[in-house]
């Protein structure tokens, strides 16, 4: 059955503020598709973001939406989820927001394993502020603040999430929207902290400075780099040079989920209290 996208959107807020051809549209559409597949109620779902182009997404979504401060989306989301553990909380963020200014919150959210989903739209650049390099800008690339080429090493966001303890980690790319939706759906369904990195295009800020100023060229460039995990497993290290592996990269159903643990803690404390009260004459 076709998804009624407008049902999930605040239609009166359209047209959106993103550049034509921006990859974030693919992500938002995939997100709605995934929510629809899972049958989540709009009233039961909160979408939280920080600052940046991607972080404008919640404004268009007809849910409980929270556009917070730069890098802090996960901290607000943690409060929302801990206060309402039976509700759904999704965080959508960019590479700079999630892993530079929000890097500390990112690794600790992974460590805690609260049942939330973080979607990072990784376009390798700070788009909204005018194209400065981010923690994922490739070596040598041009940005507003790397006019002589980028010398900053970059993060592998998926590996960072796995290392920090996220219990579902996947990476997709905007050239393959179907898989992006699948990873988001699986991440939302996963009971624990899930991270989905989506490689995306910012032809306006990144592409323009790096000879890919139209969306098609830039999405083609992304597509040329990605290798699905099952294919990558059969490739040699030489063949994988310069490639980015996509797919479900990590899943751990064993680690306890945090709100479950906290609920058990409350039960434990209250049982002890009741026992004490009972023991009193």
Partner 1 sequence: MSSGHSDKSEIVFWQGNEVVAEAAIAAGCRFYAGYPITPSSEIAAVMAERLPEVGGTFIQMEDEIAAMGAIIGASLAGKKTFTATSGPGFSLKMENIGYACMAEVPCVVVNVMRGGPSTGLPTALAQADVMQARWGTHGDHPTIALAPAYHREIYLCTIKCFNYAEKYRIPTMLLLDEVLGHLSEGIQVPDPSEYEIFDRVKPSVPPEKYFPYDSSFGDVPPMATYFEGYRFHVTGLNHNRTGFPTTDPEICQQEEMRMIRKVMKDAEQLAEYEEYRMEDAEVAVFSFGSTARGARVAVDEARKQGIKVGLLRAITLWPFPDRKIYELARQVKAFVVPEVNLGQIILEVERASHRDMPIVGVNRVGGVPIPPGEIFNKIKEVARDGR
- The residue among 211 and 264 lying less far from partner 1, judged by its C-beta, is 264
- The residue among 217 and 270 lying less far from partner 1, judged by its C-beta, is 270
Q: What is d(CA 108, CA 169) in angstroms, rounded to the nearest whole number?
A: 15
Q: Classify the C-alpha dihedral 76-77-80-83 as positive or negative.
A: negative
| Residues found in the chain | 281
Angle, helix 157-164 to helix 103-112, in steps of 10 degrees? 50
Binding residues for partner 1 (CB under 8 A): 10, 13, 42-44, 46, 48, 58-59, 62-69, 72, 74-84, 87, 104-105, 108, 262, 265-266, 268-270, 273
- The residue among 10 and 251 lying less far from partner 1, judged by its C-beta, is 10
- The residue among 103 and 138 lying less far from partner 1, judged by its C-beta, is 103
Q: Tell the smallest beta-carbon distance from residue 54 to partner 1 (Å).
A: 15
Return left, alpha or beta for 39; rule: phi > 0 is left, psi -120 to 50 is alpha, else beta. left
Q: Tell the smallest beta-carbon distance from residue 212 to partner 1 (Å).
A: 30
Q: Tell the smallest beta-carbon distance from residue 209 to partner 1 (Å).
A: 27
Name the token pair of 170: 């996947």
- The residue among 77 and 218 lying less far from partner 1, judged by its C-beta, is 77
Strand 88-94 to strand 168-173: parallel, antiparallel, or no bridges (unpaired)? unpaired
Q: CA 20 → CA 69, 82, 213, distances in Å?
A: 26, 37, 12
* Three-state secondary-structure class, residue 179: helix
Q: Tell the smallest beta-carbon distance from residue 136 to partner 1 (Å).
A: 21
Q: Tell the smallest beta-carbon distance from residue 57 to partner 1 (Å).
A: 12
Q: What is d(CA 129, CA 43) in angstroms, rounded to the nearest whole number?
A: 33
End-to-end CA distance of the chain: 64
Q: Tell the smallest beta-carbon distance from residue 12 to partner 1 (Å).
A: 9
- The residue among 4 and 44 lying less far from partner 1, judged by its C-beta, is 44
- Site of tokens 């490689």: 199
């Amino acid at each position: 059955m076709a998804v009624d996208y407008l049902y999930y959107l605040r239609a009166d807020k359209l047209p959106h503020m993103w550049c034509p051809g921006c990859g974030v549209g693919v992500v938002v559409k995939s997100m709605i598709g995934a929510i629809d597949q899972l049958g989540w109620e709009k009233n039961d779902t909160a979408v939280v973001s920080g600052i940046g182009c991607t972080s404008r997404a919640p404004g268009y979504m007809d849910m409980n939406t929270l556009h917070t401060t730069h890098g802090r989306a996960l901290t607000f989301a943690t409060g929302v989820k801990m206060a309402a553990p039976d509700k759904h909380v999704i965080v959508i963020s960019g590479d700079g927001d999630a892993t530079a200014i929000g890097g500390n919150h990112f690794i600790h959210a992974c460590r805690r394993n609260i049942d939330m989903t973080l979607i990072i739209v990784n376009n390798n650049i700070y788009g909204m502020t005018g194209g400065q390099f981010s923690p994922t800008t490739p070596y040598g690339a041009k940005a507003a603040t790397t006019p002589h080429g980028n010398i900053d090493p970059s993060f592998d966001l998926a590996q960072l999430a796995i290392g920090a303890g996220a219990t579902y980690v996947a990476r997709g790319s905007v050239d393959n929207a179907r898989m992006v939706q699948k990873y988001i759906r699986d991440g939302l369904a996963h009971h624990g902290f899930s991270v989905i990195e989506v490689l995306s295009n910012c032809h306006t800020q990144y592409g323009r400075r790096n000879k890919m100023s139209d969306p098609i060229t830039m999405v083609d460039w992304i597509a040329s780099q990605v290798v699905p995990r099952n294919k990558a497993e059969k490739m040699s290290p030489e063949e994988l040079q310069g490639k980015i592996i996509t797919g479900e990269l990590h899943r751990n159903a064993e680690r306890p989920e945090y709100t479950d643990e906290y609920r058990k803690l409350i039960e434990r404390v209250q049982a002890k209290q009741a026992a004490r009260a009972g023991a009193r004459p």
